[in-house]
Amino acid sequence: MRVVAGLLAVTLASTALAQDEREVPYWASISSGQVNMRTGPGEKYPAIWFFQRRDLPIKVVQRYDNWRKVEDPDGVQGWMAVAFLADRRTGMVNSSIPAAIRSGPDADDPVRYRAEPGVVGRLEECNGTRCLIRVGEREGWIDQGDLWGVDPDEVFD
C-alpha cells in the first residue's frame, strides 16, 4: 500500500512539474471525473462550477502555486487544483453541426462517421489542418477548426 501511495505522489508531482515548465496559455484536460472550479486559487474559495466530465479540454491561462486558472469551452474562467489536470490532449467538437470524421488527414478522404457538437475525444496528433481524434473505440481525422482544445495551425504528435 505504501508503494502505491508513493507512486501516486511521484506521478502527481511529475504532472505538476511538467505543467510548470510550459508557458501559459497551454492546453490541458480534466483528469478526474469530478472537480470543482473555484473563484480563487485555494479550497477556501467558493466553487463556481462542478465538472463531471473527465477529459474535457481546458485552457490554462495562469499559474499560482499548485493551482491553475483555467478557461472552459464556454469561456468561463476559474481555478482548479493541478492534481485534477492532465497533460493529455483532448478536443471537444465545437461546430454548430455534426463534424465529419475522415479515414485520413486529407480533405478528400472518405467520411467514416460524424461527431455531434459537444463530443469529447483524445487527440493523438494534429498536422496544422486536421487532428487524429479517438472517441471510444473509433478514430479518424477531424478539421482543427471544428475543435476546442487545439490552436489553429498547431502541430504535434
Q: What is the pLDDT of residues 58-90, one digit of tens each?
A: 999 999 999 999 999 999 999 999 999 999 999
110 Cβ neighbours under 8 A, 6+ residues apart: 102, 103
Confidence (pTM) = 0.85
pLDDT number for residue 25: 97
- Give the CATH architecture of domain 91-156: Roll (2.30)
Strand pairing class (26-30; 57-64):
antiparallel
As a CATH number, domain 2-88 is: 2.30.30.40
Is pLDDT of 10 > 90? no
pLDDT tens digits for 85-109?
Answer: 999 999 999 999 999 999 999 999 9
**In angstroms, how far is CA 110 from the centroid of its own chain?**
27
What percent of the chain is modeled with pLDDT above 90? 86
CATH 2.30.30.40 residue ranges in the chain? 2-88, 91-156
